[in-house]
Structure 1
């Protein structure tokens, strides 16, 4: 089975590899998300994941296209701005969706995001690092390593594969 992950980011590929059968081949397929660099809200973040998944299948030769997208969003009933992760899996006929953990952003970081900055560069600035998105991610920094970006994205991908690995979705 060939699975294409709609990103050139190795963390996203590894996140999918962690939740699929060992006999599957998982490949990075850099595609455009079709959404802003910093998706805001669940709808835009989900759209980015779905667009990536479909564009992987359009690239040809894959049994499943997977899109993984991080964004920022609010939740009804909870104050603050949150880091959110969504994944979509499609075989061309059906689409499964799953979400990773929602992690509240510190007010100082949330204020910069609301002012129009992107989370990755803000986190790099705050942490004094480069390319945090290809390492522990904001999730790792915000939880002191208790969960890193790969694990958070794996949770979203596992949920998105649900309709393809169980009969409960009929």
Structure 2
């Protein structure tokens, strides 16, 4: 099976490979640079999901399955949260899954609310470059308990559900 991941980010590609390996599915996963169709810093679940869906559909061309992964920020209990959504499509079926939601520290949330993108803010806060291509905000905010790859792997796994089990074959729950 050939899988196109709608991003040039190696962490998103690795997360997708990891999800397919965990599902015992053989897949050749390739990064495909596509536009998300949403802002650089998606705000809210709706925009973030729209970006993941757009990336999946655009990555599908020439592949058996297209995967789109989008990170964003959204309001949640007691502040702003880092969110992540994944979409998977074969052109007929579309699956969605989300990763963990992590509350942003107030100072970081304030900067994002002022219009800055989370990735560069995290780079500055931790004094490293390309945090989004390494442990990500998820790794920084959890002290390394989870990293961006594992968080995104869970989102991709959720999106793959309709392709891995029969439970999505109809809207009715199995008896």
Q: TM-score, normalised by structure 2?
A: 0.93
SS of equivalent to 2:78: strand
Match of 1:104 in 2: 103
Q: Distance in 2 between matches of 1:98 and 1:166?
A: 14
Gap regions ≥5 residues in structure 2: 170-175
Match of 1:38 in 2: 41
Match of 2:161 in 1: 162
Gap regions ≥5 residues in structure 1: none
Q: Distance in 1 between matches of 2:33 and 2:86?
A: 15
Q: Distance in 2 between matches of 1:53 and 1:145?
A: 28
Match of 1:10 in 2: 10
Q: Distance in 1 between matches of 2:91 and 2:75?
A: 31
> Post-superposition, which runs of at least 4 consecutive aligned residues in structure 1 deviate over 3 A?
none
* Displacement after TM superposition at 1:22 (Å): 5.0
Match of 2:68 in 1: 67
SS of equivalent to 1:161: helix
SS of equivalent to 2:38: coil
Equivalent residue runs for 1:62-141 within 5 Å: 62-75=63-76, 78-141=77-140
Aligned Cα root-mean-square deviation (Å): 0.8
* Displacement after TM superposition at 1:74 (Å): 1.3
Q: Distance in 1 between matches of 2:25 and 2:164?
A: 14
